[in-house]
Amino acid sequence: MGYLHEGHVSLVRRARAENATAAVSIFVNPTQFGPNEDFTTYPRDMDSDLAKLEGAGVDLVLAPPVEEVYPPNFNTHVDVGRIGERLEGEHRAGHFHGVATVVCKLLTIVRPDRAYFGQKDAQQCLVVKRLNEDLNLGAEIVVCPTIRDPDGLALSSRNVYLDAVEREAALSLFRSLQLAKELHQAGETDAAEIRSRIRRLINEQPLAAIDYISVADAENLNELETITDCVILAVEMLSPGKFDIVLSGINEGSNLGMDILVSGTVGAAIQGYYREMHSIAMSVASITNLQYDAAASAAASLVKTIAANKDLPPLFLNVNLPNAGADKIKGASMTRLGPRLYLENVERGTNGRRTHYWIKHNKLTNRPVGEDTDIFAVRNNRIAITALNGVFEPDFESPDLQPLADGVMSALGHTNGVVPI
């Protein structure tokens, strides 16, 4: 829409490198602005834009006046369905109708071989892909990486609105994306937990107001609850019949007691166990300054020991480690689930169209725990190994699994094996 920055210019450079001719459209599209949005004040500087485009080697600039794009008798609009109605579309009614309509017109006028869009507007990219495919417009839609300032803020024409304090608040967007990526890479598969952590991070900024937080399928924006599909896909489709053990994790943060009921890490392990495979959910009891070495050694030990014992029935183990180096861990124990409940309260909010309710997990209730529980073990710097078979199959007759715990301690360099309680 103009007021070009380095993000726009990067698209031009790529188009210039991959095509014989590069064309750019500049058009502040009124139909994608809501009644209380910034159409009249949206930054514009055509002379500067044209100079930047000339410097980048653009061959053609399409900058039509509004009355040519939308003449008085104009009455056709493009609706791409659900993909344009959720997330941003839910909070900006009609926005993607306007986007889809003007992009359809521009692609029809120019008829490019390829059209380049920035990943920053991820939902817009999906909308454009959908209309391009559905209407047989014939362009290859190329999505290019987001360009950011050194502090991480994505380049945007609207950044000119921000003062220094507001800019610092806006950085919570980038930090929340980083947090989500780190959580997932660390093994967190519970989408609700990821959303909760992001919400807490953004709420630390008084000037930041949340419209929505979404953990969704990148192709259709369907919301995800637990990210366990990878196990199902691998077991059922990619390598059917070739797995013996599923290891889920290493998760950032413990999964003790009743946490297992809402844990994506445990949920992913369940998918393997119900397919009669040994399954291990592994977590480290911290969300900051994590020490993964002990957990990695413990995981390797458990996998090797279980794989070597062909007589074991399928096991479902929930393993929690204290956040400590191997030399600081005092032992490993076979445990049971301890009592772990949260005080909760419900927050009510609205986006102007719908009412939302958010269940917040607050501090843990102070309940006594037995010395044979997972909670007690981790509190006392011990590794807790809990066989969940009996939780899901009451008639399960567990073999003696203490050698698994002994093997873990040996793998951590404790020559005397497990330290008794």
What is the DSSP secondary-structure string of 282-351? EEES-SSS---HHHHHHHHHHHHHHHH-TTPPPPEEEEEE-SS-GGG--EEEEEB-----EEEEEEEEE-
The rounded distance, in Å, linking the Cα atoms of 260 and 263 is 5
The rounded distance, in Å, linking the Cα atoms of 279 and 10 is 46
Q: Is the preceding peptide bond at 250 cis, omega within 30 degrees of 0? A: yes
Catalytic residue at 8?
yes
Residue 394 has phi, psi (to 5 degrees) of -55, -25
Angle between helices 122-134 and 95-110 (to 10 degrees): 50
- Residues in the chain, overall count: 421
The rounded distance, in Å, linking the Cα atoms of 385 and 403 is 11
Q: Which of 8, 97, 278, 414 is catalytic?
A: 8
The rounded distance, in Å, linking the Cα atoms of 318 and 387 is 6
Q: Measuring CA to CA, which residue among 321, 289, 278, 344 is closest to residue 412?
A: 321
Return the beta strands (E) in 43-126 as ranges. Answer: 60-62, 114-118
Enzyme catalytic residues: 8
